[in-house]
A and B are shown apart, each in its own frame.
Chain A
Amino acid sequence: MIIEHIDAQLPGAITDRHAFRGDQTIVVPKASFLDLVDLLHREGFQLLVDITAVDWPERPESQDVGRFDVVYHWLNLASQERLRVKVAVADGEAMPTLTGRFKTADWFEREVFDLFGIRFEGHPNMKRLLTWDDFPGHALRKDFPLDGGDPFCMEGCTAPYNNGERA
């Protein structure tokens, strides 16, 4: 229902769409994202449930799609309709912040920045949320080592304390 409405109000904004068991997903370019948010907010999608991102390191940059998908989930509290919006951004490209309209966007955007390194322009406090301030790298990027590049995870680690003597 909302998707037809978006098509009528913002023709051509939706570049891709699919639905799985009633979950509707649309893909929009970054250029028409803020217009879409305005429209969604007017139409009653006033609960921003989640912001997350997906890293696609193998995705070719040439096809005008970036390395990351930023994924937004909205809920319409009146009609209980849900909508997922995906926006592709390149490595180093910033997304516009939604903190002005949705208070929940504050920590969600900080989390995405922390774990994927996607900046949000206009965010009042663009600092890391989960890892510490000088954490090296962004942990949920696919090229980040799972153990954090920790040399202690290699074999040959000895028991440190044994009857008062160091091993």
Chain B
Amino acid sequence: MSEMNINDAVMTTRLDAVVNWGRKNSLWPLPFGTACCAIEFMSMMASRYDMSRFGAEAMRFSPRQSDMMLILGTITNKMAPVLRTIYAQMAEPKWVVSVGVCASSGGMYRTYATLQGVDRVIPVDVYVPGCPPRPESMIYGVMKLQEKIEKESLSMRKDHIARFYESLARQEAIQAEKGLTGQQTIRDMLMDAAERGAGTIF
């Protein structure tokens, strides 16, 4: 039996690096499809563009079984509490890609009915511009997310998600105390945040 050189068998690394390497190559997407971006998403997942090349082919329609939320379309103010609930239900650690201008900023719908960017109510990691973006753009967005995951720190991600949970608890408290609907609570929280000069409610 030949003597084994320890340097051939052992590699030293940082925990963050090795965990994030695993995370970024096994993203499980949750399609939150509300408009035409969801149609582009279908072709992104299908054979021609093929997301499985990037390790994100295990699409799940349950938030419990997925960790990358793709917001594909216009989110109305009425949908905002639903979006927050679904984000809260996702498996940790979780990431959000806002696909298309509607999800990112309200897009052309600058009205009372449309949420002017989902980043006001849930944390967004990557924005993909376009109306709708081509599948290549969406794939580029996911690749950007992979780069981001590679570099991020585990504890920062945890704190980041914890901040969202705090805001959800605050929302539920206000809702119960004032007897409002979820939509009106979020609207009030947004108004309050704007007065404080903050961009978001979380």
Question: Which residues of A come within 8 Å of B, CB atoms?
Answer: 130-135, 139, 144-154, 157-161, 164, 166-167
Partner of A152, one of B120, B160, B180, B181: B120
Asked whether, in the complex, the Cβ of B123 is within 8 Å of the Cβ of A160, the reply is yes
In the bound assembly, the distance between CA atoms of A160 and B159 in angstroms comes to 15
In the bound assembly, the distance between CA atoms of A161 and B119 in angstroms comes to 8
Task: Decide yes or no whether B8 CB sits under 8 A from chain A.
Answer: no
- CB-CB under 8 A from A150, the residues of chain B are 112, 116, 190
- CB-CB under 8 A from B112, the residues of chain A are 139, 144-150
In the bound assembly, the distance between CA atoms of A135 and B116 in angstroms comes to 17
In the bound assembly, the distance between CA atoms of A166 and B159 in angstroms comes to 12
Q: Mark B117-149, 1 if CB is under 8 A from A, else 0.
A: 001100111000000000000000000000000
Task: Decide yes or no whether B177 CB sits under 8 A from chain A.
Answer: no
B118 CB to closest chain A CB (Å) equals 10
Interface size on B, residues (CB 8 A): 30
Question: Which residues of B come within 8 Å of A, CB atoms?
Answer: 77-78, 110-113, 116, 119-120, 123-125, 152-153, 156-157, 159-160, 180-184, 190-191, 194-195, 198-200
A149 CB to closest chain B CB (Å) equals 8
A159 and B194 in contact, given A148-B111, A164-B156 (Cβ under 8 angstroms): no
- CB-CB under 8 A from A164, the residues of chain B are 152-153, 156-157, 159-160
A127 CB to closest chain B CB (Å) equals 12
In the bound assembly, the distance between CA atoms of A23 and B194 in angstroms comes to 48
Asked whether, in the complex, the Cβ of A161 is within 8 Å of the Cβ of B181, the reply is no
- CB-CB under 8 A from B125, the residues of chain A are 161
Asked whether, in the complex, the Cβ of B191 is within 8 Å of the Cβ of A134, the reply is no
- CB-CB under 8 A from B195, the residues of chain A are 151
Asked whether, in the complex, the Cβ of A160 is within 8 Å of the Cβ of B190, the reply is no
Chain B minimum-CB-distance residue to A164: B156
Asked whether, in the complex, the Cβ of B120 is within 8 Å of the Cβ of A146, the reply is no
In the bound assembly, the distance between CA atoms of A81 and B153 in angstroms comes to 69
In the bound assembly, the distance between CA atoms of A162 and B188 in angstroms comes to 24
In the bound assembly, the distance between CA atoms of A132 and B184 in angstroms comes to 8
B67 CB to closest chain A CB (Å) equals 17
B53 CB to closest chain A CB (Å) equals 27
A152 and B116 in contact, given A134-B180, A158-B199, A159-B199 (Cβ under 8 angstroms): yes
Asked whether, in the complex, the Cβ of B123 is within 8 Å of the Cβ of A152, the reply is no
**Could you show 18 A-B contacts with beta carbons less than 8 Å apart?**
A131-B78, A131-B113, A132-B78, A134-B181, A139-B113, A146-B112, A147-B112, A148-B113, A151-B194, A152-B116, A152-B199, A153-B110, A160-B119, A160-B123, A160-B198, A161-B125, A166-B199, A166-B200
Asked whether, in the complex, the Cβ of A152 is within 8 Å of the Cβ of B194, the reply is yes
- CB-CB under 8 A from B199, the residues of chain A are 152, 157-160, 166-167
